[in-house]
Amino acid sequence: MDFQESLLWKYKDILTKYLAVQSEQTLYLTQKLSKEILENHIPPEEVINLHKSVLNELIPEVPSEVLVSFDILLEIMMSYGLAYLEHQSLRYKQMELEMELEFGANMQKMLLGSAIPKYDYLDIGAISIPAKIMNGDYFHFDIDSDQELKVAIADVIGKGIPAALCMSMIKYAVDSLSYSKHNSPEVVLERLNRIVEKNVDLGIFITMFYGSYNPKQHVIQYASAGHEPGFFYNKKENSFVDLQAKGLLLGIDPHVTYPKFEISLEIGDMIILLSDGVTETRTEDGFLEREMIIDLLNKYMHLSAQEIVNNIYRDLSKIQHYQIRDDFTMIIMRRLV
Amino acid sequence: MTRSFVNIINEWDIVAARQLCREFAKELGFGIVDQARITTAVSELARNIFLYANQGIIIVEKIEKDGSVGLIIIAEDHGPGIGNLAKAMEDGYSTSGGLGAGLPGVKRLMDDFSIDSEVGKGTVIKTAKWLR
């Protein structure tokens, strides 16, 4: 028995019962049948017609005015039927688009992916989670020809696909600039600034922190292009200070220069880098205070760097009911020996 | 009766086109739901002529192929034409205001559909439905 036939049979049964007794149970059966009807893509005008013919069969003496009145209902339902079909086709299209985005996001993950390096002198943890499907944040680790560890964290102002596409370009520029030992942090930012200014349309700006860690002296030299300031944790004094660095965002002025800063790390000291997705976490009482991040850092201090960033991400996304509004990136580097 | 037409000049001609095609479909043996579908498609095509081309013609013809019988509706005008056919055939484009079926709707209501349009010259839409 095909569905049309079984539908006719079930409909007749339901209508017969309901004409006899108007019970909730029959209405419940009707609701179940309506789901089957939808699953089988039966348009509403067909249901009206079914009702009309079944009614005529069950009550042969039904006034012709009543039967004719269904023509009006049928005409009205034509538009609903079309809207329903259109909805289905748009939903299918949406699924296709989502799949394409998913491919794009995976491709981006592959392109931007930077392994988190392991050293016996430095405990490193890093996390970068996009707010939507594509990530406009980026972090990068590399070793130059002098064995210095290069670290970069960047944030495209803007979200979604344009930001993500832009980030892919930045990644390749950073890759090619990072390997040379002659490129100290301020030089890298100056060159990137010219690349961004030349290649990216007005309206897209990038903030970046770039550092170079010398494993022999345990000194990190860094420069920042308008990036959210990180923290320096001094273990001896058990204190956090902002990693101050001044510099214009990338892509605004091709002639800008960046000052270089440096900090020495003692054993147990930490460098904490973040994107504004971390500090702009929205709590129920407004924006998160930087002090709250320090509280969280203190809370998880006893864990490894990777566990700290994972836990902080978990806590902050929980505050936002697991719907983060901006890409979230955080890096922790702690001197071990 | 194998071929009839209605000139579309004013809004009442849309009703005449509906009437003509519904009768035509009924006589060929289409059921009440298919009659309503054909009529809705004709209505949409006639309305497009009235709204965008000022005037044109709706032709309905009996067709036969491999033992099947059906009807074809031809909507022809010498209006401004459609610049972007891909857009006009896209779901949600012409119906974004929530009104009407648009050309994708006509295509769904019928079995076969073809459109030719040239900017500045006009549009010819042919759409058929077969008796099952």
∠A113-A163-A105 over CA atoms, to 5°?
45
List pLDDT tens digits, range A184-223.
899 999 999 998 888 777 677 899 999 999 999 999 999 9
pLDDT (mean) for A16-33? 95
Q: What is the mean pLDDT of residues A18-41?
A: 94
Q: What is the pLDDT of residue B96?
A: 47
Q: In this predicted structure, which of A185-189, A284-288, B73-77, B89-93 has the lowest mean pLDDT?
A: A284-288
Q: What is the pLDDT of residue B98?
A: 43
CA distance B7 to B13: 7
Burial of A77 (0-12, 13-18, 19+ CB in 10 A): buried
A171: three-class secondary structure by DSSP: helix
Whole-number percent of chain B with pLDDT over 70: 92
Chain A residues close to B101, C-beta within 8 Å: 79, 82
The yes/no answer on whether domain B3-130 falls in CATH 1.10.260.40 is: no
Chain A (73-92) residues lying within 8 Å, Cβ to Cβ, of chain B: 74-75, 78-79, 82-83, 85-86, 89-90
Domain with CATH 1.10.1240.30 in chain A: 3-94
| A223 phi and psi angles, rounded to 5 deg | -145, 160
List of chain B residues whose C-beta atoms are within 8 Å of the C-beta of residue A79? 40, 101
- Domain A114-335 fold is Phosphatase 2c; domain 1 (3.60.40)
User: In this structure, what token pair is assigned to residue A132?
Assistant: 């939507």
Residue of chain A with shortest Cα separation from B92: A86
Cβ within 8 Å, pair A78-B40: yes
A180 — pLDDT class (breaks 50, 70, 90)? confident
The whole-number average pLDDT for the span A149-177 is: 83
Q: How far apart, in whole angstroms, are the C-alpha atoms of residue A13 and residue A100?
A: 46
Distance from CA of B107 to the nearest CA of A (A): 10
Q: How many Cα atoms are found within 13 Å in the side-chain-facing hemisphere of A148? A: 23
Task: Look at residue A281 in the predicted model and tell me its pLDDT.
Answer: 74
User: Higher-confidence residue: A313 or A134?
Assistant: A313
A140 is written with which tokens?
A: 């990068």
B91/chain A closest Cα distance in angstroms: 6
For A88-97, the CB contacts below 8 A with 24+ separation are A88/A41, A89/B91, A89/B104, A90/B91, A90/B92, A93/B91
Say yes or no: A45 contacts chain B, CB-CB below 8 A: yes
Average pLDDT score over chain A: 89
Superfamily of structural domain A3-94: KaiA/RbsU domain (1.10.1240.30)
Q: Which residues of B touch A75 (CB under 8 A)?
A: 36, 40
Query: Model ipTM?
Result: 0.81
Contact A82 B101 (CB under 8 A): yes
Q: State mean pLDDT over A256-274.
A: 95
* pLDDT for res A24: 94
- In terms of pLDDT, which residue wins out, B93 or A148? A148
Task: Determine what percent of chain A is predicted with pLDDT higher than 70.
Answer: 96
- pLDDT, chain B, mean: 90
Mutation target among A71, A74, A78 for the B interface, most CBs of B within 10 A: A78
| pLDDT interval class at B1 (50, 70, 90) | low
Q: Closest CB to B36: pick one of A75, A85, A93.
A: A75
Residues A121-147 pLDDT 10s: 999 999 999 888 888 888 999 888 788
Nearest to A82 among B31, B32, B108 (CB): B108
Two tokens, residue A223 = 């420069």
Q: Is A56 on the interface with B (CB under 8 A)?
A: no
